[in-house]
Structure 1
């Protein structure tokens, strides 16, 4: 993923899991992340 200080996203249900884990793997490289998940995915977590 490209380097940014802040990530803001409204991701679809299908890519929620891959995006979340990719961001967690690169966690120390960014300052802030705001992700809006669908209710079904949020309950899955």
Structure 2
């Protein structure tokens, strides 16, 4: 039971970390495209 809980917690942490990484990448990409539009 404890092992299953630890495994689920690890998966949740990995999922949240992946979401944060994707969000940061999306924001940085959107910011870069916005700067390019302003420059153009």
TM range (shorter): 0.3 to 0.5
| Higher RCO (C-alpha under 8 Å, 6+ residues apart) | 1
Instruction: Tell me the TM-score normalized by structure 1.
Output: 0.31
Higher strand residue share: 1
Instruction: Tell me the TM-score normalized by structure 2.
Output: 0.34
